[in-house]
Amino acid sequence: MLDGKTAVITGSTSGIGLGYARAMAEKGANIVINGFGDKDAIEKERAAIESEFKVKCVYSAADMTKPDEITGMIKMAEDTFGAVDILVNNAGIQYVSPIEDFPDAKWDQILAINLSSAFHTIKAAVPGMKSRKWGRIINTASAHALVASPDKAAYVAAKHGIAGLTKVVALETAQHGVTVNALCPGYVWTPLVEAQIPDTAKARGITEEEVKRDVLLAAQPTKEFVTVEQVAAYAVFLCSDAASSITGAILPIDGGWTAE
Ligand code: NAD
């Protein structure tokens, strides 16, 4: 389905981003993975994508806070594969603090990674997509692009911002064969989430099951985590011809969270 296409996925060395990379490779796309982490572990994931799915996969260490590295990554992808057909803006971090104590540097960093990086990737990739009359841009937003929670000022502002950016670029590219959408996951079962469960259980004196149900999934009516595979499958669908009329959409995948 994606044979011959190239997908650049920011923040794809773990979690949801790695899920997108593997799902798109499975459909035949060549992949640029990006993000931080242990060098050997990243190389292992890169090589696994190539050998399991018989596609090419290259790694970019571009830092999503640095505009010149971001545009360099898009150029590297175009030079290597001839095109960026699919762009997934997924890199993201979180910081939790009441507004009066929220560090200025954390605000700047979250806005840079979770929002401004998508501006820079999109700006660099759209000309090629328009000229080839085909493109798919998928932004990982969050349920926090639609609703707020306390103590997450920068994250919620950035995620609402990316919803706005999604709509604007969708309008600008609507007649050029390019779609631009935002996926809004609720709580997704990623290594990041999994790792905090034992500590939270210990800190609150409750069981790990209670942490999942009463702390993490308090807002999620299904009381089930969304899976990486479900989010990745949604993104693959958005790359299909069947989804070519879906653009500028802010799409929840949140177990009913934003229905409340
Ligand atoms: P994760 O921590 O597993 O993945 C984040 C990725 O971003 C990693 O590859 C990391 O190396 C990369 N990254 C961080 N800073 C970077 C930088 N400066 N430059 C380049 N890469 C950088 O987290 P995840 O849970 O997979 O989250 C991925 C996206 O999904 C984020 O945008 C997050 O906000 C969003 N999201 C996650 C959940 C969830 O419950 N896990 C829910 C909704 C939305």
Would residue 20 show up in a list of annotated catalytic residues for this protein?
no
pLDDT band at 79 (very low <50, low <70, confident <90, very high): very high
Distance of CA 193 to the CA centre of its chain: 15
For 97-134, the pLDDT digits (tens) are 999 999 999 999 999 999 999 999 999 999 999 999 99
Rounded Cα distance between 141 and 114, Å, is: 9
Which range (17-21, 58-62, 196-200) has the least confidence? 196-200
What is the pLDDT at residue 221? 95
Residue range 167-179: average pLDDT? 98
Alpha helices in the chain, H assignment, sequence order: 15-26, 39-53, 67-81, 104-111, 117-132, 153-173, 191-204, 208-210, 228-238
Residue range 188-211: average pLDDT? 89
Question: Considering the entire predicted model, what is its pTM?
Answer: 0.97
- Beta strand 30-34 pairing with 178-185: unpaired
Rounded Cα distance between 75 and 57, Å, is: 15
- Share above pLDDT 70 across residues of the chain, in percent, rounded to a whole number: 100
Q: What ipTM describes this predicted complex?
A: 0.99
Asked if the 6-186+227-252 domain carries CATH number 1.20.58.100, the reply is: no
For 28-76, the pLDDT digits (tens) are 999 999 999 999 999 999 999 999 999 999 999 999 999 999 999 999 9
* 193-to-58, 59, 227 alpha-carbon distances in Å: 27, 24, 12
Question: Measured in angstroms, how far is the CA atom of residue 209 from the centroid of ligand 1?
Answer: 24
pLDDT band at 203 (very low <50, low <70, confident <90, very high): confident
Question: Measured in angstroms, how far is the CA atom of residue 175 from the centroid of ligand 1?
Answer: 31
- Whether 181 has a pLDDT exceeding 90, the answer reads yes
- Share above pLDDT 90 across residues of the chain, in percent, rounded to a whole number: 92
Amino acid type, 192: L
Atom of ligand 1 nearest to the CA of 226: 40
Q: Which residue puts its alpha carbon closest to atom 6 of ligand 1?
A: 11
Atom of ligand 1 nearest to the CA of 36: 11
The residue extents of the domains of the chain are 6-186+227-252, 189-225
Top mutation candidate among 34, 36, 68, 187 for ligand 1, by most atoms within 8 Å of CB: 36
What is the pLDDT at residue 50? 98
Question: Measured in angstroms, how far is the CA atom of residue 89 from the centroid of ligand 1?
Answer: 10
Residue range 210-218: average pLDDT? 90
Question: Measured in angstroms, how far is the CA atom of residue 13 from the centroid of ligand 1?
Answer: 9
pLDDT band at 196 (very low <50, low <70, confident <90, very high): confident
What is the pLDDT at residue 160? 98
Q: Give the position of tokens 């290594």.
A: 191
Active-site annotation holder among 20, 155, 187, 234: 155
- Whether 192 has a pLDDT exceeding 80, the answer reads no
Question: Measured in angstroms, how far is the CA atom of residue 47 from the centroid of ligand 1?
Answer: 21
Pocket of ligand 1 (CB under 6 A): 11-17, 34-37, 63-65, 90-93, 113-114, 140, 142, 185, 187-188, 190-193
Atom of ligand 1 nearest to the CA of 188: 40
